Amino acid sequence: MNSFGKSPQPVRGTSDILPAAMRRHNMVIEAARACAARYGFAEMATPVFEFDEVFRRTIGEASDIVSKEMYSFEDRGGDILTLRPENTAGVVRAFISNGLAQDLPLKFFYQGPMFRYERPQKGRQRQFHQVGIELLGVAGPQADIEVIALAADFLGDLGVDQKAVCEINSLGDAESRAAYRAKLVAYLEGRKGDLSADSRKRLDRNPLRILDSKDPGDRAVLEQAPPLADSLNEVSRTFFNRVIEGLASAGVGFRHNPHLVRGLDYYCHTAFEFTTERLGAQGALIAGGRYDGLVEQMGGRPTPGIGWAAGIERLAMMIAAPPAPPRPIAVIPAGADMAARALGLTLELRRAGFAVDLGYSGNMGKRLKRANKLAAAAAVILGEDEIARGVAAVRDMKTGDQTEVALDNIAEYLVRYR
């Protein structure tokens, strides 16, 4: 606990996003928002906390997220609430709560903070931020093709598409997964002694969640596990083939990864990730999949769904430096008597669309130094003599040239410095 005996620090696993980093952060959000809008996705937002069961029921008690990583607390009314560890469950809850089933299909875009208690490392914080999309109400592979193409275009807009690869796999339908579950359990029972304690518990309750284990011993056991592809029925194979054929037709590059899985029961058919080797172990930039069973699991009518989420912090580390903010205009009063006139002109120019800085104190020399520090494009100097003649002195901060400009035309003249 920080007692403020020394300089106060942020909570472990959180960080301040200062202006330079915020420009990168916002560049990712704006690129995602614009790309989603081109595809017809409308922005929405859910609360950052939900009733605990929204996540506990959907993600599952046996998952690391629920058992180890969720921030849950009892509020003053006695309700158990949880800071959202992901946003798909919240979007689906909102879909059910607001009675939107009659409006299908629905296409949502979101952005905001998520929370998981895990070991902080590069690209992974306890408070992190995501952009994401959800498409509800379309059962056919056209939806899968569209959301993956959107992800590829989004990465292209950011200029990182050449640094990432789309990995894709089929999880099959319910029948295929049931067949695979039987084969997986038979194999894992023979290797039970090599599994982690958590995975031994999952073997009885939900063996498919073992596929999500990050334990090195579990990963070694799973290397020899029967491949899921061998359990796919004809319906699942046809669905997957239509997805990859559609992606190829759309010019979206991909690589089949038979080991890519989602352990949660409501996932089916398509699972995909856009990954990179540029960030070390934290290589997943975008992860998504089809979740046709989730709405029903949460109490709604059976509704197909598919979506993805992308980590803003990770993408922000991948992009080129965003453009610097516009260089401001500095308004400088030459003497205390000019302060009121300087403030009036500052407000006039801001309302005309200019970025304007007005120092709060100091003589003209100090204010000019401030203008240089801020990389101001020009300084508008107001002196008593100039005001009496209805003009201001405009100094080009790059060349040092100074010109008298009529106050009535000052905004028009300054357009060149935008």
Contacts of 144 (CB under 8 A, 6+ apart): 243, 246, 269, 270, 290, 306
- Does residue 68 have a pLDDT over 90? no
What's the pLDDT at 281? 67
- Residue pair 76/91 in contact (Cβ under 8 Å)? The answer is no
What's the pLDDT at 1? 52
- Does residue 3 have a pLDDT over 60? no
What's the pLDDT at 158? 96
State pLDDT tens for residues 344-375.
999 999 999 999 999 888 888 899 999 999 99
CA angle 127, 110, 73 (to 5 degrees): 40
Determine what percent of the chain is predicted with pLDDT higher than 90.
76
Contacts of 198 (CB under 8 A, 6+ apart): 62, 64, 67, 213, 215
What's the pLDDT at 122? 77
Q: Do domains 19-173+233-318 and 329-417 have the same CATH topology?
A: no
State pLDDT tens for residues 76-128.
999 999 999 999 999 999 999 999 999 999 999 999 999 999 888 877 899 99
CA angle 114, 118, 119 (to 5 degrees): 130
Mean pLDDT of 281-309: 93
* 167: helix, strand or coil: strand
What's the pLDDT at 5? 64
What's the pLDDT at 114? 97
- Does residue 312 have a pLDDT over 80? yes
CA angle 19, 315, 82 (to 5 degrees): 85
Q: Which amino acid is at 58?
A: T
CATH of domain 19-173+233-318: 3.30.930.10
Enumerate the β-bridge partners of residue 106. 136
Residue predicted with more confidence, 281 or 246: 246
- Residue pair 267/290 in contact (Cβ under 8 Å)? The answer is yes
What is the C-alpha to C-alpha distance for residues 383 and 394, in angstroms, rounded to an integer?
A: 11
Q: What does the buried/exposed string (b/e) look like for 262-273 if buried means 16 or more CB atoms within 10 Å of the residue's CB? A: bbbbbbbbbbbb
What is the C-alpha to C-alpha distance for residues 91 and 105, in angstroms, rounded to an integer?
A: 14
- Does residue 63 have a pLDDT over 90? no
Q: How many CB atoms are closer than 10 A to CB 6?
A: 7
State pLDDT tens for residues 127-155.
999 999 999 999 999 999 999 999 999 99
The tokens for 335 are: 């003497």
What's the pLDDT at 150? 98
**pLDDT mean across residues, the chain:** 92
What is the residue extent of each domain of the chain? Answer: 19-173+233-318, 329-417
- Does residue 2 have a pLDDT over 70? no
State pLDDT tens for residues 369-410.
999 999 999 999 999 999 999 999 999 999 999 999 999 999
What's the pLDDT at 209? 80
Question: What is the CATH T-level fold of the domain 329-417, as seen in this structure?
Answer: Rossmann fold (3.40.50)
DSSP string for residues in 101-133: GGG-SEEEEEEEEEE-----BTTB-SEEEEEEE
- Does residue 264 have a pLDDT over 80? no
What's the pLDDT at 337? 87
What is the C-alpha to C-alpha distance for residues 169 and 147, in angstroms, rounded to an integer?
A: 15
What's the pLDDT at 140? 97
State pLDDT tens for residues 163-207.
899 999 999 999 999 999 999 999 999 998 999 988 898 888 788
Q: Which of 264, 296, 250, 299 is nearest to 141 (CA)?
A: 250
